[in-house]
Amino acid sequence: MLGLLALLGPILTPFLLAGLLAYACNPLVDRLQRLGLPRLLAVLVVLLVLLTLLVGLVLIMIPLLIEEAGVLAARLPGALALANEKLNPWLRSNLGIKLRFDAASLQKLAADNMGGIQTVALNLYQSLKIGGVALFGLLVNLMLAPVVMFYLLLDWHPLLARMENAIPRVWHAKAVALAHEVNSVLAQFLRGQVLVMLILAVYYSIALSIADLPSAIAIGLLTGLLIFIPYIGFATGFTLALLVAILQFDGFGPIIAVLVVFGIGQMLESFLLTPFLVGERIGLHPLAVIFALMAFGQLFGFFGVLLALPASAALLVGLRELRVIYLASRFYQGPTP
């Protein structure tokens, strides 16, 4: 079963992602429906809110990238002059390399090494082709997930009713009770995850501002809000912050500051916030949280990490029930006298 899930992972990804989002958004849809909105309109309103948040994140990133591109263009002549003044003598004295950092010298260097550049360009082109296919698949999944989410939210309660009616009557009461317990645990997980995101957004914004990094608040908020996507959220914020630090052309100070801020942030998230704010809320020991993230990531890759904690929380409910059955069994208690 696990092998089949791993094999179908790329296909199941948009459906599982849509299911998670639908589960998280269904209470809001129900509340809007209780306020008098038709179910269809309530679903459309929630999807519009999510789309607005996504567009907001994009609008944060695009001006940041444009601003840093402008900074790079403005500072590039100064950076080349600094390289000629500081780096060129060091290369000449320590490595015997004679090189000037100006347009004519760089053009001559490129002409002398055209064969190697063509080989690198060919390899890069092949990588872009493969990456392009992967990117196309990602875009298809991103486009499919909202469609699946729309239909799930629209038919959420009828779908749950059909699943409940399919449970054999002899197991019905116990299965429904376990489902309610799983729902309670997952709700605690979502609240804990939101709290982690908010804390990290505040931390990165303040820490990067103290480090005197341009666009610190935008990068900090973006990193914190994307942290629910394992690896991708952290990598996006770290890459942007490091790029901004490098483009300052102010020595290694800003770069070291970014490395320190994000190193502390990663340890804070992995070993303190997620284990205690998320793990304790769902009843998982901090070591179990770390193990679940590593194990699910090893088995199912990126999406396994995304599902690790909610899946572990659901499994924990089943394990508790098995423990009760085991403690009441004759195997545990031994033969009755």
pLDDT at 227: 79
In the chain, how many domains are there?
2
Residues 229 and 320 occupy one common structural domain: yes
- Is the overall model pTM greater than 0.75, yes or no? no
Would 162 be classed as within a structural domain? no
pLDDT at 199: 92
Residues 178 and 298 occupy one common structural domain: yes
Tokens of 107: 């053009």
Would 136 be classed as within a structural domain? yes
Residues 49 and 191 occupy one common structural domain: no
Q: Residue 182 is which amino acid?
A: V
Q: Give the Å distances, CA to CA, from 1 to 4, 8, 315.
A: 5, 11, 15
Would 132 be classed as within a structural domain? yes
Would 4 be classed as within a structural domain? no
Residues 233 and 273 occupy one common structural domain: yes
Instruction: Provide the pLDDT confidence category of residue 131 given band limits of 50, 70 and 90.
Output: very low
Q: How far apart are CA 243 and CA 253, in angstroms?
A: 13
Residue 278: CB atoms within 10 A of its CB come to: 24
Among 218-232, 252-266, 287-301, name the most confident range: 252-266
Residues 186 and 294 occupy one common structural domain: yes
Tokens of 109: 């260097």
DSSP class per residue in 121-164: HHHHHHHHHHHHHHHHHHHHHHHHHHHHHHHHHHTHHHHHHHHH
Would 6 be classed as within a structural domain? no
Residues 122 and 230 occupy one common structural domain: no
Residue 297 belongs to domain spanning: 167-337
> For 6-15, what is each residue's pLDDT tens digit?
566 566 767 8
